[in-house]
Amino acid sequence: MQKLLYSGLLALIFSCSAPQEHAKEKSVPVAPRIEIAEIEAGIKSFIDQTTAENGGFFPVKDENHDLKMKLVRVHTEYLSNLGPDSHFACVDLVDEKGDVYDVDFFMEGKPGAMTVTQTTVHKLNGKPFYSWKQKADKTWYRMPLEQSDNNLLGVIEGKDKFEFYYTVTIPELKEKAKIWIPIALSDDFQEVQVLDMKVPGKSSQLLDQVNRNKVLYLELNPEDSGKSIEISYAVKRREKTPYEAPTPDPKVDLVSNKLMPIGGRFEQIAKETLGLKINDSHLVQARALYDYIIDNMRYMKFGDFGRGDSNYACDSKTGNCSEFHSFFISLARSVGIPARFAIGASIPSDRNEGGIDGYHCWAEFYADGKWWPVDISEANKYTALATYYFGRHPANRIEFTRGRDLALSPGPSDGPINFLAYPYLEINGKEVKAPTTFTFQRKS
């Protein structure tokens, strides 16, 4: 039986990590679509029943693991018939700490009455423990891998420590002006110390009560033209994982924002994407919406990008990180999943000092009593890290502000600020861009 199972893996190539087109190139017969759907239903039914029998958790045991898990998704692209009444499935499950495990399932029986014969943990947060290799006799075996390293893809796991320098050059002023600049704050995942703050003009610090942001506010005069505003931080940050926090505020995390509306076509798209998953947990639903964004959007800085406009993202299916996460939040909130937006900067992982190419933003959603960090635009760029970025933000970043439509007093003449990473400079009631640079130096 084991030989039969592994021989059938010819259509999979490296199990869940294999590109789908490789399976199409092989001569192994492909099961009809309806049967694949039945296999998915069968594995979900098995997990649901086993979960109910084990106090709300699905147990996974192999030679190295003894875990209590919950379902995130079934990899439908890798469901396969291995032979008569023999099947293979890849399933993402999450443990009590929020780690996502990719588990390989081997099953026997008819799709409606399958028995799982073997489970093995293939990946942890997207990093594989083994890959599939083929022998000369065409059977397959598992080959252990050395520990994967995501560093070259921009990820520092665990902890990072660096100084971060935020510099604004005030453009030529012919009249009075006002400027609002984010101030990074400490939280459970980043320890921030302001090392130095050099500011011209009259300054004060404002508090965004709704989103708990702090903002530097300055009133400037023509004689401040060409001067610099400099803020330097010492930052200790740890990798962000799913975390327990107070229950979301539905008046903040489930409502429309100016450029992140909910309902209407966003609700329609979300429900069409979810299909029967509309009856599943918010965790399963959020993963389906996450995958929809990855599959349907292209990272492209073209047109009216960079404002975090969900309608623009929906129409063009392009944008930068702000469009990716705004679109996700509009979809999630439209089906009752609390979600929120945050922005800061990503610190390069492949060097220890120098400039940073602008801001970066991300999102979180609430499910199973925890906030789950996601970074969909990075997952879109590096598909090998799609599992990692569902529930993880790496240590090499700094968060400036959280939320949208930031209401401050005093605030800009145009009303609440869309989001705040770069400074908001107002001259004669209009927003004007102020040249801004981010630089860093990593500390050992």
Q: Where in the chain is the domain with CATH 3.10.620.30?
A: 243-402
Q: Is the pLDDT assigned to residue 2 strictly greater than 90?
A: no
Kindly indicate the confidence band of residue 14, based on its pLDDT and cuts at 50, 70 and 90. Answer: very low
Name the 3-class secondary structure at 141: strand
- In 270-413, DSSP assigns E strands to 298-299, 318-319, 339-346, 353-356, 360-367, 370-374, 397-402
Kindly indicate the confidence band of residue 308, based on its pLDDT and cuts at 50, 70 and 90. Answer: very high
Task: Say which CATH topology domain 159-238+408-442 has.
Answer: Immunoglobulin-like (2.60.40)
* pLDDT average, residue stretch 345-374: 94
CA distance 333 to 365: 9
CATH 3.10.620.30 for domain 243-402: yes
Judged by average pLDDT, the poorest of 90-99, 216-225, 336-345, 412-421 is 90-99
- Domain 2-148: which CATH number of 2.60.40, 1.10.540, 2.20.28, 3.10.450: 3.10.450
CB 98 within 8 A of CB 241: yes
* pLDDT average, residue stretch 285-292: 98
Judged by average pLDDT, the poorest of 66-80, 132-146, 287-301, 399-413 is 132-146
Residue-wise pLDDT tens digits, 24-41:
333 444 444 336 677 777
Judged by average pLDDT, the poorest of 60-64, 215-219, 330-334 is 60-64
Q: Is the pLDDT assigned to residue 22 strictly greater than 80?
A: no
**Residues with Cβ within 8 Å of residue 442, at least 6 apart in sequence:** 160, 161, 162, 347, 352, 353
pLDDT value for 150: 64
pLDDT value for 220: 96
Residue-wise pLDDT tens digits, 211-259:
999 999 999 999 999 999 999 999 999 999 999 988 899 999 999 999 9
Pick the residue with more confidence: 25 or 392? 392
Kindly indicate the confidence band of residue 8, based on its pLDDT and cuts at 50, 70 and 90. Answer: very low
Burial status of residue 251 (CB atoms within 10 A of its CB: 0-12, 13-18, 19 or more): exposed
* pLDDT average, residue stretch 58-65: 80
Which H helix or E strand runs over 442?
Answer: strand 436-442
Output the CA–CA distances (angstroms, integers) from residue 210 to 91, 213, 258, in the order listed: 38, 8, 16
Kindly indicate the confidence band of residue 12, based on its pLDDT and cuts at 50, 70 and 90. Answer: very low
CB 357 within 8 A of CB 421: no
The C-alpha angle 308, 376, 163, rounded to 5 degrees, equals 80
* pLDDT average, residue stretch 20-27: 36
Q: Where in the chain is the domain with CATH 3.10.450?
A: 2-148
Q: Where in the chain is the domain with CATH 2.60.40.2250?
A: 159-238+408-442
